[in-house]
Amino acid sequence: MVSDKMLQLGRHSSVIRDIFEYGNQRRKEIGAENVFDFSLGNPSVPAPDFVREELENLLVNTPAEVLHAYTSAAGDSGVRLAIADYIRNNFGYPAESKHIYMTVGAAASLTVTLNAIVENGDEVIAFAPYFPEYKVFAETAGAKFITVNSEPETFQIDAKALYNAINVNTKAVIVNSPNNPTGVVLTEDSIKRLADILDRRSAEFGHPIFLICDEPYRELAFGNAIVPYVPLYYKNTIVCYSFSKSLSLPGERIGYIYVASQMEEADMVFDAVCGAGRALGFVCAPAMFQLLVKRCLGKTVDISIYNRNRTLLFDSLSSYGFSAVYPDGAFYLFLKSPVADSYAFCEKAKDYELLLVPADDFGCPGYVRIAYCVGTEQIERSLPAFAKLASYYFGGDK
């Protein structure tokens, strides 16, 4: 009666959602202040005041027939021009607005991109750990989803493993930096090695291998971390961008696809993006929020709060004996489970009202993800619980 594939996708909710629902139940039972929910990557820093001010300006000063009207399928031309200007001025890359397609966030950017490029028999590679929706998006577009483990410890790209995974069927590689779930930022060196492998393998197999850069966390980089602009290093790059995290606007669903203008056949690839947008019904992203982001380009939420959370959590958990990947960006801490079974570890953490996510669904068993996009006071209140959890595993209380 219905598509079995879609039925399974609709019915199989993610582990993250299950934990979040469990948290809702516990909040009712023992009070929100006693539950330490680190499950969802939902930004806690509110959208900045300038977002509200610009929105109010738009509402007051834009005629309704513009504010609520269809834009062209790829987006408002003024908005696309402004984004291309921004890329040129900020990253020094010769972007052209004709290669920008406005979308309803990174999820849509990814699924439109994959549908634009995948043909029967193609393979799409992602590095584990990876955002679990990649598998759904790639397989729904008709690709075989292949994973390559990242380097242990650093979670940078394992160049040799990538080289070996690429074959004549490889159509694209997805990278995500700053990364969900590790918080790792790919170094310039990693990007250069990646570009070199893709150039060599593309030449060897006689067709371009696309590099899809999923970048919702681009601006969330701390300290001296630099997030290289990948089109400068590899010409066949497609950037999937979102304003969900940089402006704390996840519910407004706004982002874009940028087909790097120096790509071979950039116009043709962009036309395929338009075709996929059309086929999937992702045309004309919300007009009001297209106009809003144009006014906010280059501005971000106050990331000092995430930076404070990161330091507090990393330093405290390390001092209790836990081992975690040092996060340079995004708002996730990737913690090594003290036991091989990360589900068992997360179950034990629940005894202390700590809600953590096992990384098995991210393709990385043995680790858990802690989303620290929460109020700093939640982290402060949770530390005694983490200390007790550590003492259970490391302190001989087991």
**Residues at the site binding ligand PLP, with contacts judged by CB under 6 A:** 41, 105-107, 131, 176, 180, 214, 216, 242, 244, 250, 255
Q: What would the DSSP string read from start to end of 71-87?
A: --TT--HHHHHHHHHHH
SS3 content of the chain, % helix, strand, coil (to 5): 45, 15, 40
Length of the chain in residues, anyone? Answer: 398
123 closest CA partner among 111, 107, 141: 141
Smaller CB separation from ligand PLP, 250 or 327: 250
Smaller CB separation from ligand PLP, 150 or 202: 150
To ligand PLP, the closest distance from the beta carbon of 332 in angstroms equals 9
Backbone angles phi, psi at 225, to 5 degrees: -65, 135
To ligand PLP, the closest distance from the beta carbon of 112 in angstroms equals 12
To ligand PLP, the closest distance from the beta carbon of 110 in angstroms equals 6
Smaller CB separation from ligand PLP, 41 or 183: 41
* Contact in structure between 39 and 357 (CB atoms under 8 Å): yes
Q: In the numeric block, which tokens belong to residue 243?
A: 């304003």
Radius of gyration of the chain from its Cα atoms, rounded to whole angstroms: 21
Backbone angles phi, psi at 212, to 5 degrees: -100, 120
Decide: helix, strand or coil at residue 289: helix
To ligand PLP, the closest distance from the beta carbon of 197 in angstroms equals 22
To ligand PLP, the closest distance from the beta carbon of 102 in angstroms equals 12
Smaller CB separation from ligand PLP, 233 or 256: 256
Smaller CB separation from ligand PLP, 113 or 242: 242
Smaller CB separation from ligand PLP, 14 or 149: 14
* Contact in structure between 384 and 371 (CB atoms under 8 Å): no
To ligand PLP, the closest distance from the beta carbon of 71 in angstroms equals 19
